[in-house]
Structure 1
Amino acid sequence: MKLLHRPAWMKISPAYVLPIVPTTHGGTLDVPVAGDQGVPVVSVPLRQVISAYINLMKPHVTVLLLGITVAAMVIVHGSLPALGLVIATLLGGAMAAGSANCINCYIDRDIDQVMSRTQRRSLPAGRVQPRQALLFGFALGIGSFLVLTLFVNLLSAVLSAAAIVFYVVVYTMWLKRTTTQNIVIGGAAGAVPVLVGWAAVTNSLSLTAILLFAIIFFWTPPHFWALALLIHKDYERAHIPMLPVVKGEHETRRQVFLYSILLLAITLLPYVTQRMGILYLIGAVLLGGILVYMALRLLMDHTKKWARTLFWYSNCYLAVLFAVMVIDRVLLH
């Protein structure tokens, strides 16, 4: 398979001609539509500018990560910790996730133009200039480190910073365009928020925190490969070596099934190690059993129906599983 010859950060697309300039006039920003002199200036409502920058942070992804962060804090504390600590941790976590996503959008702006799923993002749509997106990403990262260091603790700040570096350098700049294992290894970045939440309360890590990390890590491949089955033509056009593109749909479905079984086994470990109670065990078995059933149907049915269903359910699965952990921890311990 032919891959991209140059990394995204070396490419400058002529389509990015819409700089966001902070010149306000009654709730709007004056925005030149091109870099040449004499070109008219367009007034853009301030809310659209804010929306464009928020879009760079991928809020739909960040919300799930923040929910997991709070769940980890409640699990280790046995109840909701001090509100100030929760707010500071969530603010720092949101900024860290936003930083990683902004820089990811900057690096991937060339392939985002090609993929129909991502063409409406702020950079390929021309709502933000690449340089400004990059600076915004760096600013969020620095801000996240400061917030977590000053108002939470240094360990949580270091973990968040490490997640940003891993997601940007290891996943986005290296794995994503070179190996079918990109999602498997890169999933570690998405599992770090649970460690951040744990460290925010205890200023340390433990076996339970590692088990929670492992659950998210092994959840990522079946979740994302289900999506990849739905949009594999996008990845093919962008020359991204996702599993369905390189190994085919049947192998991808088989891997989803195997990882779903492995995930079910991993979710039982918190009960085996006596970190969780019987309520969690029942929830983990039921939720994991449904996921394995869907993965089996996906393996047997070659239409996209079960890929779509499994992708939707996997989002709900993770949220509900952590909710069950919280209930088990608060009510039974």
Structure 2
Amino acid sequence: MTDTQIDTSAEPGANDFLQLLKPRVMSLVVFTALVGLIVAPVHLAPVTGFTAILFIALGAGASGALNMWWDADIDAVMKRTARRPIPAGKVAPGEALGFGMALSAISVVMLWLATNALAAALLAFTIFFYVVVYSMWLKRSTPQNIVIGGAAGAFPPMIGWVAATGSISVEAWLMFALIFVWTPPHFWSLALFMNADYDAAKVPMLTVTHGKKVTRNHILAYTLILAPLALALGFTSIGGWVYLATSAVLNAGFILGAVAIWLRNEDQAGADRYKTEKRVFTFSLAYLFLHFGALMVEAMLRGLA
């Protein structure tokens, strides 16, 4: 991290601090954690459940703020992130650091008080993993950054499950595995059409270190590994025919998209030359939301039975 020039003439507003929390990423964290909590065999009181999700969300936001503090120099170089609060000069790095540390402490302690020590410990580890292991170490040192670092985004449904049950089961691990293996093809699809950004920032994304052809091979390989893991959830206590049918369709679509990326002509030119990658990236977002949405439908159907 390097110092970032800040315009001290203007005070940061509430929206600037909100953007530090990475609200779009937080929405995925909240949704998957909520599903993990809802599908668990132990049901929390509504107020307790809401409190648990609130502090899991705050923990995710704390991770985002600390990540933006550390990565301010990278964010300033990349077009996709140059308007974030710190490189845009709206929030000072020290303010972001203090904000993130405070939210981290509050979220972990309050989740412990609201639910149990194991859920709080998992949240604390998730924050540590995302900020220290991924942001400070992996992101700038290895092309496997997004593979290993993807664990941080895979913990929320497990935390939701543990908040309700106080224990970890095969269902929680499979929800974790679904997000963990989904993350590389999802982000590498983005990296293929944002490669210039990562190259300029000297982030060793696989597209930068090994080239686009190798990245396309990896996307296909991980997508093929992902499909059976996703389907396996359908045969657990939280799965069912709705989930299995949804997963089968989604995985067929993801594999077809990965094959299309794998077969794409590297020499293709023009403004729309990355339309396949953009389409697969967009589909991958729907893929994850719909898988967890199907798990929620299954839980509702069991409640009606």
* TM-score category (smaller protein): over 0.9
| Structure 1 equivalent of residue 3 of structure 2 | 12
In terms of mean alpha carbon deviation, does 54-63 or 249-258 score higher?
Answer: 249-258
| Structure 2 equivalent of residue 266 of structure 1 | 229
Q: Please identify runs of 4+ aligned residues in structure 1 that moved more than 6 A.
A: none
With the length of structure 2 as denominator, give the TM-score of the two structures.
0.93
Quote the Cα distance in structure 1 between the aligned partners of 2:38 and 2:57: 18
Quote the Cα distance in structure 2 between the aligned partners of 1:82 and 1:313: 35
Q: Work out which of the residue numbers 98, 114, 120 in structure 2 matches 1:151.
A: 114
- Could you say what secondary structure the match of 2:284 adopts? helix
| Structure 2 equivalent of residue 67 of structure 1 | 31
1:1-333 matches, cutoff 5 A: 8=1, 11-13=2-4, 15-18=5-8, 33=9, 42=10, 49-77=13-41, 81-273=44-236, 275-302=238-265, 303-332=273-302
Q: 1:273 to 1:152 in 2, by over 3 A?
A: closer
Deviation per CA, 1:177-205, whole angstroms, max 9, x where unpaired? 01110000000000110111001110111
Give how far 1:270 is off: 2.0
Identity %: 38
User: Is the radius of gyration larger for structure 1 or structure 2?
Assistant: 1
With the length of structure 1 as denominator, give the TM-score of the two structures.
0.86
Quote the Cα distance in structure 2 between the aligned partners of 1:81 and 1:153: 12
Q: Which amino acid in the other structure matches residue 244 of structure 2? A: L
Deviation per CA, 1:274-319, whole angstroms, max 9, x where unpaired? 6522222111111111011111111112431111011111111101
| Structure 2 equivalent of residue 25 of structure 1 | none
- Unaligned segments of structure 1, at least 5 residues: 1-7, 19-32, 34-41
- Could you say what secondary structure the match of 2:150 adopts? helix
Structure ranking higher in helix proportion: 2
In terms of mean alpha carbon deviation, does 148-157 or 214-223 score higher?
Answer: 148-157
In terms of mean alpha carbon deviation, does 244-253 or 272-281 score higher?
Answer: 272-281
Give how far 1:95 is off: 1.1
Quote the Cα distance in structure 2 between the aligned partners of 1:257 and 1:61: 24
Number of residue pairs aligned between Structure 1 and Structure 2: 296
- Could you say what secondary structure the match of 2:155 adopts? helix
Quote the Cα distance in structure 2 between the aligned partners of 1:51 and 1:95: 15
Give how far 1:17 is off: 3.7
Deviation per CA, 1:239-283, whole angstroms, max 9, x where unpaired? 000011111111111111111111101112223456522222111
